[in-house]
A and B are shown apart, each in its own frame.
Chain A
Amino acid sequence: DTAVSQTPKYLVTQMGNDKSIKCEQNLGHDTMYWYKQDSKKFLKIMFSYNNKELIINETVPNRFSPKSPDKAHLNLHINSLELGDSAVYFCASSNRGLNTEAFFGQGTRLTVV
């Protein structure tokens, strides 16, 4: 009964391809996030959705498009993948406005070759 689960855990793909990463949370949280951990190990927020509404978009290239079909799911679709997109992507969830901790998924290691 994983709280925040994302699939796949590993993804290797060629430049120019389009890929999606899925995320689901069963914690009843109203806010979900995507974070990116780059090669220098910095964890940086990309997007945040609250009740299916985009509330944070951190100057991410528009090749990245998050989609939230309901408040328990936040998927990340990436078009025209580039070498620089290689990173670990983490999904997270929390309850907005309560200053509580965010719960993270196990990460998806994306490698673009």
Chain B
Amino acid sequence: DQQVKQNSPSLSVQEGRISILNCDYTNSMFDYFLWYKKYPAEGPTFLISISSIKDKNEDGRFTVFLNKSAKHLSLHIVPSQPGDSAVYFCAAGASNQGGKLIFGQGTELSVKP
């Protein structure tokens, strides 16, 4: 039972354009959401998060949107840069779960020059 799903295993975008990575979840108890970026042979690196009381959070080129009614969140990267090429993981947590994060299966983003 995959509670967090990233249905696109890969995404290819031209440099300078917008990258949109999507994530869906099923558990209504999740109240915070995070995006991680992962390069090969490295651990996931935190990128941006959003609390369930918000619908948008922005940090530089990265914006996360949360649609609670649809149980959907997305990460927008604009403009995309070749260095953004990595695997992006969506993760969700519930405040009463001791910090446990449930991860999606990841989307591999390739930004082409």
Contact = CB atoms under 8 A, between A and B. Distances in A.
Given A104-B43, A104-B45, A106-B41, A99 B93 contact: yes
Interface in B39-92: 41-46, 49, 51, 87, 89, 91
Given A41-B105, A43-B89, A101-B34, A31 B45 contact: no
Nearest to B47: A101
Contacts of B34: 101
Interface residues of B, number: 26
Contacts of B113: none
Interface in A92-107: 92, 94-97, 99-107
Contact of A105 (B43, B89, B102): B43
B17 interface: no
A106 B103 contact: no
A70 to B, nearest CB: 18
* Max chain B Cβ within 10 angstroms of own Cβ: one of A33, A45, A95, A103: A45
Interface stretch (A48-56, A60-68, A77-85): A48-56
A18 to B, nearest CB: 25
Contact of B100 (A4, A40, A42, A45): A45
Given A99-B51, A99-B93, A101-B49, A55 B42 contact: no
B45 A56 contact: no
B98 A50 contact: yes
A94 B95 CA distance: 13
B103 A42 contact: yes
A55 B98 contact: yes
Contact of A96 (B45, B98, B105): B98
A61 to B, nearest CB: 19
23 contacts: A4-B43, A31-B98, A40-B105, A42-B105, A45-B100, A45-B102, A48-B100, A55-B98, A56-B97, A92-B43, A95-B99, A97-B99, A99-B51, A100-B49, A101-B34, A101-B49, A102-B46, A102-B101, A103-B46, A105-B43, A106-B42, A106-B43, A107-B42
